[in-house]
Amino acid sequence: MADNSKAAPAPKENMGQPIARYEARQKVMGGKIYSSDLPVPGKKAYAWMVTSTIAKGRVTGIDETAAKAVPGVLMIMTHKNRPALGDIASFLKGGMFVTDNNTLSGPTIEHEGQPVAMVVAETFEGAREAAHKLKVGYAAESPSATFESPGVTTRPMGEINPRYKPVKFKDAAAALAGSAHRVDAEYSTPIQHHNSMELYSTTAYWDDGKLVLHEPSQFVWGLRKGAAAQMKMDEDNVRVKSPFVGGAFGGKGAITVRTALAALAARQLKRPVELVATRAQGFTISGNRQETQHKISLGCDAQGKLTGYDHSMWEFTSRVTPYNNGGLDNCAAMYDFGAVSGQNYIVQGDRNVPNFMRSPAEVPNIYALESAMNELAAAANIDPVAFRKMNDTRVNVTNGAPYTSRSVNACWDAAAASFGWDKRNPEPGSMRDGDWLIGWGCAMATYPTQMAPSAAKIVLRKNGTALIEVAAHDVGTGCYTIAAQAAGERLGIDPSRITVQMGDSRLPPGPISGGSISTASVTSAICDGCDRLLTSLGLTADDAKASDSADRLAAALARSGRPVAEATGAWAPIGAPDDAIDRLYDGGLVFVGGAGEKRTMFAFGAEMVEVRINARTREIRVPRMVGAFAAGRIMNPRTAHSQYMGGMIWGMASALLEATEIDHKRARYTNDNIAEYHLAVNADIPDVDVIMVPEVDDEINILGVKGIGELSNVGTAAAITDAVWHATGKRVRDLPVTIDKII
């Protein structure tokens, strides 16, 4: 037998069973479980987008002659013949879309890679050939590509968001001026793209005036709502199916232009149309993590007690839709700062609209803060772990709101014990193994505990099996499995007897699968549904906990005379607006959590890494990483282990490998493929030690779940740059850390 103890750790206190995920076998065997695998009625036609080769200017003409001559071409759609669409709005403006501008709405080009036409043909190859033969003429202007490009517009966040308030707690400048030690440093993070294995695809067909969309989505109810408005239809006449998602990371949360293109083509051709964005097109149709710059001043007194923290952050965004992450209010809650000021700015240029990508605000912001924490600890000659512990806090100092739980110190202890941190010689360059310079670094991981309203329907059958229905999503996380575990526990049924249906807009609404909210939100709705079901059968929680719970359920169902027992739960987090459930059923977005007015809710972790840098070539390897995390109730230590490990690997890749390069003159992404956009491969992946630290939080939601999807890739980059400094004495403050920066 294989040793599963590492991948499927035994549960500790407040953890569920490490059962294998429901779809494990199908995934390993290549089962047809993704939306583009679903059968459609009739013969599919294939659509291909033609995208702009310039970043700014306009289309002057389109010559279709050669394209039309390709055998099997069925349709060419441009801004000249695109049928009418309803108005759309981005998340920023309360809508569901990546951008505020409809597709093919005119000749104006706002970014490179903007769709300018769609070709549909009998075959995939025919559509591709015709797309390449479409001659698009442009009048190009000089675009603003990124920070420091001529023509960018820099604005304080308040100019685009009237509700934005800079962070201000006491007098940070005065506190910094009186500090015994201080760090003044600038940090920057690059453009990154989600690059899920599964591409952005949409298959659309019409059935008696109703639209069916097979599209990988993090939010099927939101997609239904947005697509219906765009197609000027009743929401009930649109159905979205997305049973499993092959990676999303934020890129499949907001609606892209491809959905309407496929729907329009299918309507006109009266047959199913499949549109798959190429890997390169995926770089511009669904946003990306935008590049950021940070200027931090951080000070402490002679004993190491933090005094002042000043953080200015600039993020790049588009002109049309200035999507932004902000998020400095979360940073301000992290430590016992004596005084804080934080300012956000946006810098706009001629680029596609960015959108959320895994831990959108925290990855860059906490990288900058944790880097400054490491630098200040070194300046004060204090061990970085001890330095964090002495500045720990139980409240968000800026508003006094207490943490519902915060087990970061236990995480530090667990990580340090496993890593052997006490053997670290603090002197940079002091640890060496032959040609290899060894560096040890650490940083805190954190992510706000966020939640959203959710519904869930539970059906109990006479044969003792149950069914759960909720339009939540499994983006690779194990959501089906933990849903069954939650219901199984609440009803006293073995999870193997529970079937779960998700990823279909016909099911009761679940929240967007983003912001690490799914487990907290969906298990709460399931518990509510189970409680209602028990009550309707005259049973109590004690009946469900009894050793003969299955018999009690069966007897109660028989007594009721009903063929099945059903109940629909609906749950909204504390602090949600009164109409949260209505908004849920309306396909809306309601988020609660993080640094709130009354409560401060975050999950935490501690990460330690070893880097080895070749003394001659400066090649960087990471042989081992340790992460210890506490995130309230862990539903399933096996799926949780995978998520934590995947996050740490991504965090490492994000520090050392990942960056989208841009042509500064043309504002084009130059490595828009996964040969040149570097992600970690097996040989890059070290020994990853994941430790789950038990934590109980009774305040956040029914089961006390914090959510872990985005926790473990936060802070990793700061741990790596600290280890690079420890090995070489060189501080790299501009990610990713590539060889040229440490020569």
Q: Which residues bind ligand MOS (CB under 6 A)?
A: 218, 249-250, 253, 356-358, 360, 514-515, 710
282 within 8 A of 308, measured Cβ to Cβ: no
- H or E stretch including 342? strand 339-349
Toward ligand MOS, which CB reaches closer, 76 or 645? 645
Residues 6+ apart with CB under 8 A from 236: none
Taking the complex as a whole, the smallest distance from the CB of residue 398 to ligand MOS amounts, in Å, to 24
Nearest approach, Cβ of 363 to ligand MOS (angstroms)? 9
For β-strands 115-121 and 73-78, DSSP reports them as antiparallel
**Closest-CA residue to 480 (of 489, 491, 494, 467):** 467
What's the closest the beta carbon of residue 364 comes to ligand MOS, in angstroms?
A: 13
Closest contact distance (angstroms) between CB of 247 and ligand MOS is 11
CB of 117 to ligand MOS, least distance (A): 30
Q: By CB neighbour count within 10 A (0-12 exposed, 13-18 middle, 19+ buried), where does 162 fall?
A: exposed
Measured from the CB atom, the residue of 225 and 358 that comes closer to ligand MOS is: 358
Spatial distance between the Cα atoms of 160 and 179, rounded to a whole number of angstroms? 35
N residues, the chain: 743
Q: Which residues of 592-605 are buried (b: 16+ CB within 10 A; e: fewer)?
A: bbbbbeebbbbbbb
Between CA 352 and CA 674 the distance in angstroms is 19
Q: Of 249 and 604, which has the nearer Cβ to ligand MOS? A: 249
Place of tokens 């779960």: 500
Minimum CB distance to ligand MOS smaller for 218 or for 371: 218
CB of 356 to ligand MOS, least distance (A): 4
Q: 165-169 — which CB contacts under 8 Å span 24+ positions?
A: 166/341, 166/342, 166/343, 166/344, 167/311, 167/328, 167/329, 167/331, 167/332, 167/340, 167/341, 167/342, 167/343, 167/398, 168/340, 168/341, 168/342, 169/332, 169/337, 169/339, 169/340, 169/341, 169/397, 169/398
User: At its nearest, how many Å lie between ligand MOS and the CB of residue 226?
Assistant: 16
On whether the CB atoms of residues 142 and 151 are closer than 8 A, the answer is yes
Would you say 253 or 509 has its CB closer to ligand MOS?
A: 253
710 is catalytic: yes
Residue 218 vs 481, nearer CB to ligand MOS: 218
Rounded Cα distance between 517 and 512, Å, is 8
Helices marked H in 86-219 — which ranges? 124-133, 172-177
Contacts of 457 (CB under 8 A, 6+ apart): 468, 469, 470, 507, 508, 529, 566, 567, 568, 569
> How would you classify the pairing of strands 273-276 and 45-51?
parallel
Tokens 């016992």 correspond to: 336
* HSE (side-chain half, CA atoms, 13 Å) at 726: 27
For ligand MOS, which is the closer residue by CB, 179 or 513?
Answer: 513
If the CB atoms of residues 211 and 357 are measured against ligand MOS, the closer one turns out to be 357
From the CB of 359, what's the least distance to ligand MOS, in Å?
7
Classify burial at 523, counting beta carbons within 10 Å of its beta carbon; exposed 0-12, middle 13-18, buried 19 or more. buried
Among 501, 502, 479, 483, smallest CA distance to 493 is for 483
CB-count exposure of residue 112 (10 Å: 0-12, 13-18, 19+): buried
CB 312 within 8 A of CB 185: no
Q: What angle do the packed helices 362-379 and 716-728 form, to 10 degrees?
A: 30
Shortest distance in whole angstroms from residue 103 CB to ligand MOS: 22
- In the complex, least distance from residue 192 CB atom to ligand MOS, rounded to whole angstroms: 11
Determine which one of 129, 469, 489, 710 is catalytic. 710
Least gap, CB of 713 to ligand MOS (angstroms): 11
State which residue has the least CB distance to ligand MOS. Answer: 250
* Cis amide prior to 9 (ω within 30 degrees): no
> Of the two residues 248 and 720, which places its CB atom closer to ligand MOS in the complex?
248
- Tell me, what amino acid is at 89? A
Q: Residue 85 or residue 363: which is nearer to ligand MOS going by CB? A: 363
* Nearest residue to 275 (alpha-carbon basis) of 138, 133, 110, 103: 103
Catalytic residues: 710
